[in-house]
Amino acid sequence: MVLCDMHSHSSISFDGKNSPAEMCERAVQLGLSAYALTDHVECNFWLPRSEYENTNDYDAYDYRSRFAMARNTMPELKERYKGRLELLFGCELGQATQARSAAEEVWAAKELDLLIGSLHQVRKHDDFYFINLVNMPQDELEKLLKDYYYELVELACTADFDVMGHITYPLRYIIGEAGRSVDISENDEIIEQIFKELISRGKGIEINTSGLRQKYGKTMPDLKYVKMYRQLGGEILTLGSDSHCVEDLGKGIAEGIEIAKQAGFKYTAYFKQRKAQFLKL
Ligand SMILES: [Zn+2]
Ligand SMILES: [Zn+2]
């Protein structure tokens, strides 16, 4: 059972392989009840490259144009798949804490169905993907992780989004890729604070299943934190594969459903016009 997939990227994202239409075709094939295309908008690289002193290693800029592309593509796609697929226009908004004016332009887009609020790089640091975590001294590594969670608190308190993306994102790189060990529970109080803030603002979290097919081998977050969110009163939980190609679409959702159930969830959410709709697990 795959049910729905609320996190995926097409070739509109710099790291996506398949066109939006190819992704939708696959979603139909899988028989998804609801499917969201959530291409990246990295707020801190909203403008063309020439506007930035510090460049990024992805060589990915001008998210304003990318977002415009996603916006222009969606009406025709929704029309094409009408009656066959509950296609939702989403966006994974990165670093809204670092470039608020860019984020505000996205927030103004009334046709959005779903906004995932993510953090891929801590302020003044590169994306975790590029940081040399293998050789980083342990205290520095732990500080970086703590700074990540402090910035997530800020995101939870100040940004507009529907679900917070992959809240254990750094572990994909620290534990998975770099093979380092780190005690994330040092951050449990901050994470609890994030969840309380999300709950009070009516926002949810996602179970991002991409970690299952990567070295990290777990969902982001794993059962412990899904349970913590639930026990604090959290009710809005989406499931997303974070696929960047048709082959990965829907992957891990079945495992995600099991984790959701174990954490005490009876429903998973999808978002239509920024409002949560619930599907029974
Ligand atoms: Zn992400
Ligand atoms: Zn993503």
Ligand 2: centre distance to CA 118 (Å): 8
CB 20 within 8 A of CB 46: no
CB 212 within 8 A of CB 251: yes
Q: What does the alpha-carbon distance between residue 148 and residue 142 come to, in Å, rounded to a whole number?
A: 10
**Ligand closest to the CA atom of residue 117:** 1
**Ligand closest to the CA atom of residue 120:** 1
Residues with CB under 5 Å of ion ligand 2 are 92, 242
pLDDT digit string, tens, across residues 163-190? 999 999 999 999 999 999 999 999 999 9
Residue 277 has pLDDT above 90, yes or no: yes
What pLDDT is attached to residue 46?
97
Mean pLDDT of 205-211: 98
What pLDDT is attached to residue 1?
60
What pLDDT is attached to residue 54?
75
Q: Which residues contact 81 (CB under 8 A, 6 or more apart)?
A: 24, 28, 87
Ligand 2: centre distance to CA 38 (Å): 7
Q: In 3-state terms, the chain is what percent helix, strand and coil (to 5)? A: 40, 20, 40
Ligand 1: centre distance to CA 165 (Å): 6
Ligand 1: centre distance to CA 55 (Å): 19
Ligand 2: centre distance to CA 95 (Å): 13
Ligand 1: centre distance to CA 92 (Å): 7
Average pLDDT of the chain to the nearest whole number: 96
Element (H, E) at 35: strand 34-42
**Ligand closest to the CA atom of residue 118:** 1
Q: What does the alpha-carbon distance between residue 42 and residue 62 come to, in Å, rounded to a whole number?
A: 9
**Ligand closest to the CA atom of residue 166:** 1
What pLDDT is attached to residue 31?
95
Q: Where are the domains of the chain?
A: 4-280
What pLDDT is attached to residue 58?
75
Residue 55 has pLDDT above 90, yes or no: no
Residue 271 has pLDDT above 70, yes or no: yes
Mean pLDDT of 45-70: 89
What pLDDT is attached to residue 3?
86
Ligand 2: centre distance to CA 15 (Å): 10
What pLDDT is attached to residue 96?
98
Ligand 1: centre distance to CA 219 (Å): 13
Ligand 1: centre distance to CA 140 (Å): 23
Ligand 1: centre distance to CA 179 (Å): 20
Ligand 2: centre distance to CA 218 (Å): 16
pLDDT grade for 53, boundaries at 50, 70 and 90: confident
Q: Helix H segments across the chain?
A: 20-30, 63-80, 100-107, 138-158, 169-171, 188-200, 223-231, 253-262
The CATH class, in words, for 4-280 is alpha beta
What is the strand order of the sheet 4-5 is part of? 4-5, 34-42, 87-94, 114-118, 163-164, 204-208, 237-240
Ligand 2: centre distance to CA 242 (Å): 5
What pLDDT is attached to residue 88?
98
Mean pLDDT of 59-78: 96
| Residue 155, helix vs strand vs coil | helix
Ligand 1: centre distance to CA 119 (Å): 7
pLDDT digit string, tens, across residues 142-168? 999 999 999 999 999 999 999 999 999
What pLDDT is attached to residue 2?
65
**Ligand closest to the CA atom of residue 244:** 2
Q: Which residues contact 266 (CB under 8 A, 6 or more apart)?
A: 280, 281
